[in-house]
Amino acid sequence: MKFILFNDSKVDTNLFLQLQDLAGVLAENEELEFDYHFGHYIDQAKNRITASHFWDNRNNLEMVAGYKTDLILRAIGTRKYTNEDVLNNYKKLMEPTHLKKFAQQLFTLFEDIRIEELCKKERPGTEKLFTIRRETLKKYYRSQALTNKTMSYFIDELFCLIFLTVEATTFHENFQEANEKQCQLLDVLKPTIYEVFEASSTSDIARICETIVFRLTSDYERDSMNEYFVYPFYEQNNILKKETSFDDLTRNEELKNDDEAAGDQQDNDSSEQSFSTWHREIEADEQTNQTFLQFELESGTKTNMLGDGARESEDGDQAMASIQGASGKSKEKDYSSLEALQETESKEQAGASSKYGEENKYAIGVDKHVTTLTMDEISTYQSFVEEIDGYRRKLASTIEKTLEHKKTNPKRDLLYGRLSKKLLPITFEAVPRVFYKKNSPSSDIDAVFTLLVDCSASMHNKMTETKKGITLFHEVLKKLRIPHEIIGFWEDANEVKKGFQPNYFHRVISYEQSIHSIGAEIVQLQPEEDNRDGFSIRVVTEELIRHPEKHKFLLVFSDGEPAADSYDQNGIVDTHEAVLHARKQGIDVIGMFLADGDIEETDEKTMRNIYGKEHVLIPSVDKLPEQFAPLLKKLILKSL
């Protein structure tokens, strides 16, 4: 389920996997993880390398060249030729200046220019990729220079001019549209800038950058507004922190004001006592080394209160309350899923496992079984059967006729058997095939089907029609005595916590009971929470492998891309890998996209990225039975 998409970009899984493999080969490290991020860097602590989001919206040629050269620069250049100790000393030296962001970008730019030559010498075949990279960046920084001039971002404009200078193909680059002051400063700096081409070490680059930065401190009062480059080695302060240490949450500085609250908390239990909150008037630039949580800790009045102080309510409080207050009596007094959850939650203590992929190392499977059927559910199911009965009878009849034809149709043109009436081949062929053999009646169709149904919340307005398609699936396979199972899957967002992601499998039709089940259990499928498709496909793949049937089919009903806790875009890649893994095990996997109107180009691309050519796009869910019938026919005939 994904209701809001802030960054409307789709992951090309084939390209992603290519880049993942390329990163491992270049860095000589098969365990190295690849990801897209803001800026390209190498994170040695987490064994990760990134390519920049800058290339996301370029044409395909520029995008691929950009991603690959990002990896080449970091996996070969930075890893082998950049001295991290020199870089750390440079950072410390730049700390007192007010041009820290400019200093960071200048160092990365110059160091990339130096190590680019070393990379091309080591890998001559990359010359063309770097040429495409250089031309793309030159066009970009030329437009950025004009933008920065218009916005009066003077040092940003100067940085763009420096980039264009070092990447110029002629000695005298023309910057007629640039600000006159920036051009004058650029002319002063050019002798120092050109030393980059003679630099032979990270120390040389650091010295050149130091000279330029300290020369500009008196000319510019404000640091860069834009951030074009990050340091080549991962820096915690540059990227948003995901974790906060205990020391970060404890006070390490004196309060800005030294007043104290009057009285003692123990002496005053009045409910009307008002407590102080933070000072809204404090400007951001007055705070140092401060995060959101530190904001309350470093400002205010000293008090001996232990907590529970009043504060102003906020817009987000109601949403938080709905999450924190999610526990309560289960539906229809059915506590089975809660008991199962308590049993599986204990697995947390044993540590996370990456058995189902790195993205699912905290995912825990929880089985949910059907409850006792009610008369309303049986009645509803019968109405579904009546609606799809025409498709069911036609499809079952076609399969049965095909099966009967295969049983009785004799095999001809054999070397031995019963003599045929057609003896002409004896005259013309050296080894005549004039015999035939009658087929003995064949056994039942040697196949098994599993239907995975996305039960995310976004299926709310599609679930009823989807159940009709599922009913067709069950009734046809039951008629043909083909074993199958139907499973709804979702992740419960309300129960997710750090290191624990419960994923439910609602097994409405089991493999053992499928041929005898009346099918009304299908009605119990309901829209729930999120969907972690990759994990669900991996779990079901394990189960399908154990079945004895020769032909195995896995159909996945979904209405969009995977979305669950810490899944997001990685979910597309993870699901694609799960599909590939299943196919390597001999399982035919087909994705069925259930739209609610027109099918967007991005939806089609997502399904292609996950399932390849083996996917079906259904523009309107009420057309599901008529669209599903020919696919089911094709798959069953394939197993004959």
Say if 74 falls within a structural domain: yes
Mark which of 216, 238, 273 sits at the end of a domain.
216
Tell me the per-residue pLDDT of 35-49, one tens digit each, with 9 for 90 and over: 888 899 999 888 999
Q: Which element (helix H / strand E) includes 399? A: helix 375-408
- Rounded to an integer, the average pLDDT of 118-127 is 94
Domain that holds residue 415: 410-437
Residues 73 and 175 in one domain: yes
Contacts of 350 (CB under 8 A, 6+ apart): none
Residues 415 and 398 in one domain: no
Say if 273 falls within a structural domain: no
Are 73 and 111 in contact by the 8 Å Cβ rule? The answer is no
Residues 540 and 429 in one domain: no
Could you tell me the strand order of the sheet in which 501-509 lies? 363-369, 501-509, 484-491, 447-454, 551-558, 587-594, 615-618
300 — pLDDT class (breaks 50, 70, 90):
low
Say if 350 falls within a structural domain: no
331 — pLDDT class (breaks 50, 70, 90):
very low
Say if 88 falls within a structural domain: yes
Tell me the per-residue pLDDT of 543-569, one tens digit each, with 9 for 90 and over: 999 999 999 999 999 987 888 888 876
Mark which of 157, 189, 216 sits at the end of a domain.
216
Residues 427 and 459 in one domain: no
Residues 425 and 492 in one domain: no
Rounded distance between C-alpha atoms, residue 419 and residue 436, angstroms? 6
Say if 613 falls within a structural domain: yes
Residues 492 and 627 in one domain: yes
Say if 569 falls within a structural domain: yes
Return the pLDDT at 343: 56
Residues 480 and 604 in one domain: yes
Q: Say which residue, 454 or 262, is predicted with more confidence.
A: 454
Say if 555 falls within a structural domain: yes
Q: Which element (helix H / strand E) includes 79? A: helix 79-81
Residues 511 and 458 in one domain: yes
Which of 54-68, 288-302, 588-602 bottoms out in mean pLDDT, i.e. has the lowest? 288-302
- Rounded to an integer, the average pLDDT of 585-606 is 87
Contacts of 415 (CB under 8 A, 6+ apart): 431, 433, 435
Token pair for residue 556?
């996945």
Which of 78-87, 400-409, 536-545 bottoms out in mean pLDDT, i.e. has the lowest? 400-409
524 — pLDDT class (breaks 50, 70, 90):
very high
Residues 67 and 92 in one domain: yes
Burial pattern 467-480, b for ≥16 Cβ within 10 A else e, equals: bbbbbbbbbbbbbb
pTM over 0.75? The answer is no
Residues 160 and 178 in one domain: yes
- Rounded to an integer, the average pLDDT of 323-343 is 49
Neighbours of 203 (CB within 10 A): 14
